[in-house]
Amino acid sequence: MMKKIAYEMSYDYAIHEQSSISCEPFDKHFFQEYMRIYNECFYEMRKAFLLFGMQQIRRKNNQPIKLHVAEWNQHAFNMYKKVGFEVTRIEQIR
C-alpha cells in the first residue's frame, strides 16, 4: 500500500499582502464569466482567495492559521509556503 503524507502548516504573523478581490455569491447567470476568470488566472485567483480567507480569520482572532495539504499537491504546498505558512508537523495517513 502506498503511504500518504500530509503536512500540517501554520501561519502566525500579521498579514502584509492584501487580497484584491471581493466575493459574490454564486449565480448561474455569471457561470461563463466565472469559468473564464478561473481559467485565465487560476494561480492568482487561488492566492487571492487564500489571502481573503486569511484576512477574515485574522479579523476574528490572532491565533495561528492552520491547514493541511497532501504531499502530492505540491502546487498548493508551494503557494502556502510562498505566503508564509510553515510546516509544523508531517503526518502519515493510512
Q: Is residue 72 part of a domain?
A: yes
Q: Is residue 24 part of a domain?
A: no
Q: Is residue 57 part of a domain?
A: yes
Domain of residue 72, residue span: 4-13+29-93
d(CA 75, CA 18): 21
Q: Is residue 19 part of a domain?
A: no
* SS3 (DSSP) at 14: coil
Kindly list the distances between the CA atom of residue 66 and the CA atoms of 8, 37, 53, 78, in Å, as whole numbers in the listed order.
Answer: 7, 28, 12, 15
Q: Provide the residue-wise pLDDT of the chain in tens; the chain has 94 residues.
A: 778 888 888 999 988 888 887 877 778 888 888 777 766 777 787 888 999 999 999 999 999 999 999 998 888 899 999 999 999 999 988 7
Q: Is residue 68 part of a domain?
A: yes
Predicted TM-score (pTM) of the model is 0.59
Reported as type and span, the H/E element at residue 37 is helix 31-40
